Structure 1
Amino acid sequence: MTAEQLVLWNAHLADAERPLDDTRWSVTIVGDRIHAVHPIDGAERPVDAIDLDGASIAPGMIDAHLHALSGEIVRNPGFGPPPELKGGEPRPRELGYFVLAALAKAIVESGFTTVRDVGSDDLEGVALRQAVDLGIVPGPQVLSCGRIVSATSPGGVLFTPMYRQADGPHEVRKAVREQIRDGADFIKIMATGARSVERENPEPAQLTREEIAVAVEEAHRLGLRVAAHAEGLTGTRIAVEEGVDTIEHGLAVHRDPALLELMAEKGTTLVPTLSTFHDLAERFPESFPQVLVDQAKRQLEEAYQSVAAARAAGVAIALGHDSGPPGDAAIELIRLVDAGLTPREGLDAATRSAALALGLEDRGLVAQGQRADLVIIDRHPLRDISVLHDRAALRGVVKAGDVVYARSAEDQSLRALEG
């Protein structure tokens, strides 16, 4: 439900540009926009305002690296249906779309109001975007790449429904156009191989320089951004030099200070995805060949080094979870701070920096004119960044002016507006 005017009263504010102080604020939302932000200065509460009693308001968070695989529950213990048993009733492929709807609801109710789907089976990310936009299911705003453009590769065997394999500049250009035809909001390419494929080496470039250049040229010509899966240094360097907008994973960038300087100069954003390295190295080692587990342990250390090096070089960093379960993406924010970001820089990575990386300049701050994507939490995240990962501390979520989640009991005033 969207209130014609929603006034959030008596709250602390927290975003990447606001000083940390004890000022209490009023935030007025009209339609899907923040209409006014001003200190209350002891003024009397308007009759229709919701008194937050000193809770904190932060921008809705953004996950810049999500794989919305409806059928993949291996990395999401406790989410989705239990494993199918032999002899049990067969489960149709379409059952996965109900799982996808539950996934979307869990994500937005955790405070993530925008996500970027960087590869999903059978264009599920596009379908989910449409379902959310049409109001069929609750969920975050979804940006989808369609299928990932890769070279012919071993990964293409394992991820056939997610990949569009293409060889040579003409075929790559066609593959980019196909994704746009199918509803992609941006283009994702495989600049290197994948760490999760035993028969791929993630160090050398997978697509050639000419192929990457064509993908970037065609996407940018048509107004779309480009994200590059990039693990090894050579492919990462080519992707940055040829003008991709974001480097996904980027665990090798600490090895080349000149490359980091170039990223900072060109405005290329790093999306480190620390959580996915924890998955292979620590969380699910029994699910992968030992050679990949050993590699992930090395990569985990490098990924943390790359975050610290990128920060020192002035490279923009955006949060990308690349893991599960749905609703748990804020653990990546805590890990970014563990890697060397300050709490303010971590909050920025989850909000404003991520928004700019995705080309969404209308969100990521608690400010007049911004889209009204907000999270309401018990404690100030710049004093305790872990509060954004504490579901018990989450009081409410507003997406484009809609109250999409409200905690029970003391938040009846918010719950009355919940759709």
Structure 2
Amino acid sequence: MEVQLPAMLFAEHDRADRPVWLTNARLFDGTSTPIREGAGVLVEDGRIARVGSAGDGAPEGVDTVDLGGRTLMPGIVNAHLHAIGAVPDLGFGVQPVLPGTLGHALGAKLREFLRYGVTTVRDMGTYGDQVMENRQAMRYGLFRGARILTCGLIISSTAPGDVIFDGMYRATDGNDEVRKGVREQIRRGADFIKVMATGARSVELEAGINRDEHDSAHGMSEQLTRAELETAVEEANRMGYAVVAHAEGLAGCEIAIDLNMRTIEHGFYLFQRPELLERMAEQDIALVPTFSSQYVFAGRDLQVGTDGPTERFSTRELDRVAEVNIAAAERTLQAAHAAGVPIALGGDDLELRRGGAWIEIRRMIHHGLPAHDALVASTSAAAHALGLHDLGTIEPGKIADIVVVDGDPVREPELFGDRDRFWLVLQEGSPVAGTALEVPLSEVGRAS
């Protein structure tokens, strides 16, 4: 059984009254098919009705938009972020942040994501109800933002990370507590279940004390026991929900693969176990590499590559683990790609900057993923990994999440970080962002 994800329940948004013919496009359809020139795409009632050539001409009764040779592609799917609203630090003495303000801050980010072509995101754990509140507000048509899938609280054991990320985990011990924790997330409206198969590289009493002589934490043991993880998968799958694994140490990765979890988040050291990568490919288990959080923990912020200076972010021990993780993740990315493992974009950008996708795309390419494959990871592969079968490609019948950019994203992946290169963004066929919709103040009121 597979459930209709709560994030995809009917949304009360206005849709375009007339079909739209998007013509004269350079088309990246979200698959391994090469980009082609001179394409046309018909959008009707929120979905893609036809994909053809510009030379076909506009069907009768449609609005025609000439894209002028710009690139048309599917909306970007960011498969790993923590949807935490944040407000600026205004200094000592300022009024304390009110309870609902962080929810508004998250809503502002979800709106901004559209401006960078990110139409869908997967929340991998946050605090309170701000994700649920924003998702509900979008469903009721109160604002447009990137649609958001969420795990609710992360199913963990009683562990050091539960202290560092107080309020993000549902600590469970024993099969009965695990089962109840899973049921609680489903009751809250989770789209999937996330489990801590291992501890985290950001917690000194987990990764910091599991370092070997090379500062690698590949030997980090499983956090929840195999029996507890089996219970989580059994209960979630019984109810029609997928399970995904935070898995860094190889022991947790192996159990997650044994239990056929949907995605492996991080998986830095999998290059050491090529047979596990082969099994992931056979079982259609996706890898979400998450370079960006490792760069942050290593004090490298928005760098691409590890030749630049660093600034302390964590403890010295965790800084060293993060540096090793970047190098290990590069080897795993290349080995996974060679083995045919599905790879999905997951920015894991702690500050949710520009949708978190742009910098992760560049880093995946820098660390060895071919540019075209990085775009596939950001669209169809990510959508497939999330169980969003109506998204991710430009083909008839799919939901019309469409991004139009100035330039060739395969040759210029850096364009994803420049909001002025996003000419038009459609979500469910409706125009929601892009420079084509923005009118300079100097033009307001000017006679046509």
The TM-score with structure 1 as length reference comes to 0.92
Q: Which residue of 2 aligns with 1:76?
A: none
Q: Is the 8 A contact 2:424 2:436 kept in 1?
A: no
Q: Which residue of 2 aligns with 1:57?
A: 72
Query: In structure 2, which of residues 31, 36, 47 is the aligned counterpart of residue 33 of structure 1?
Result: 47
Q: From the superposition, tell whether residues 42 and 268 of structure 1 become closer, same or farther in structure 2 (CA, over 3 Å).
A: closer
Report if aligned partners of 2:333, 2:368 keep a CA contact under 8 Å in 1.
yes
Aligned counterparts of 1:198 and 1:350: Cα–Cα separation in 2: 31
CA deviation vs aligned residue, 1:372-414 (integer Å, no higher than 9, x gap): 00110111223333333332211011111111102058989xx
Q: Contact between 2:345 and 2:361, CA under 8 Å: does it hold in 1?
A: yes
The question of whether the paired residues in 2 share the 8 Å contact of 1:9 and 1:45 is answered with no
* 1:280 alignment counterpart: 297
**Cα-Cα RMSD:** 1.9
Alignment pair present for 1:175 and 2:178: no
For residues 309-324 of structure 1, the aligned pairs below 5 Å read 309-323=335-349, 324=351
Unmatched 5+ stretches in structure 1: 72-80, 413-419
Partner of 2:392: 364
Please name the residue that 2:443 is paired with.
Answer: none
Question: Residue 292 in 1 paired to residue 318 in 2?
Answer: yes
Comparing 324-333 with 237-246, greater Cα deviation is found at 324-333
Q: CA deviation at 1:45?
A: 8.9
Offset at 1:206?
A: 0.5
Q: How many residues are matched? A: 403
Alpha-carbon spacing, 1:175–1:106, altered in 2? closer, same or farther (3 Å) = same
1:21 positional shift: 5.4
Does residue 216 of the first structure (1) align with residue 233 of the second (2)?
yes
Partner secondary structure for residue 24 of structure 1: strand
Is the CA contact 1:16–1:344 (under 8 Å) kept in the aligned structure 2?
A: no
Q: Equivalent residues in 2 for 1:304-343 (5 A)? A: 304-323=330-349, 324-327=351-354, 328-343=356-371
Q: Does 1:344 align with 2:382?
A: no
Q: Deviations over 1:80-109 (max 9, x none)?
A: x32142222222222111111111111122
Alignment partner for residue 171 of structure 2, among 144, 147, 165?
A: 165
Q: SS at 2:55's partner residue?
A: coil
Q: Structure 1 residue aligned with 2:157, among 151, 160, 166?
A: 151
Return the alpha-carbon distance in structure 1 between the equivalents of residues 36 and 335 of structure 2: 33
Aligned partners of 1:308, 1:22: CA distance in 2, in Å?
A: 27
Provide the identity percentage. Answer: 41
Cα distance between partner residues in 2 of 1:372 and 1:87: 47
**Residue 259 of structure 1 corresponds to which residue in structure 2?**
276
- Separation of aligned partners in 2, 1:21 and 1:163: 43
Aligned partner of 2:414 in structure 1 is 386
Q: State how 1:27-106 maps to structure 2 within 5 Å.
A: 27-41=41-55, 43=57, 48-71=63-86, 81-106=87-112
- After the TM superposition, which of the residue ranges 283-292 and 61-70 deviates more from structure 2? 283-292
Deviation at 1:286, TM superposition (A): 2.7
Q: Distance in 2 between matches of 1:25 and 1:274?
A: 34
Give the 3 Å change call, closer, same or farther, for CA 173–410 of structure 1 in structure 2.
closer
Change (3 A) 1:44 1:193: closer
**Structure 2: gaps of 5 or more residues:** 1-13, 208-216, 302-310, 441-448
Q: How many angstroms apart in 1 are the aligned matches of 2:437 and 2:187?
A: 47
Counterpart selection for 2:148 from 137, 142, 159: 142
Alpha-carbon distance change, 393 to 168 in structure 1, aligned in 2, over 3 angstroms: same
Deviates most, 368-377 or 403-412 = 403-412
Change (3 A) 1:110 1:28: same
Q: Is the 8 A contact 2:116 2:419 kept in 1?
A: yes
CA contact (8 A) 1:236 1:250 kept: yes
**Cα deviation, residue 37, structure 1:** 1.2
Match of 1:401 among 406, 429, 437: 429
Q: Which amino acid aligns with 1:397?
A: V
- What SS does structure 1 have at the residue aligned with 2:69? coil
- Deviation track 1:182-212 (CA, whole Å, cap 9, x = no partner) reads 1101000000001111111361110111111
Contact 1:362 1:371 in 2 (8 A): yes
TM-score (structure 2 length as normaliser)? 0.86
Matched to 2:85, the amino acid is S
Is 1:9 aligned with 2:26? no
Q: Secondary structure of 1:379's partner?
A: coil
Following TM superposition, by how much is the alpha carbon of 1:44 offset from its aligned partner in structure 2, in angstroms? 6.9
Match of 1:417 in 2: none
Contact 1:56 1:378 in 2 (8 A): yes
Offset at residue 336 of structure 1 (A): 1.2
**Secondary structure of 1:247's aligned partner:** strand
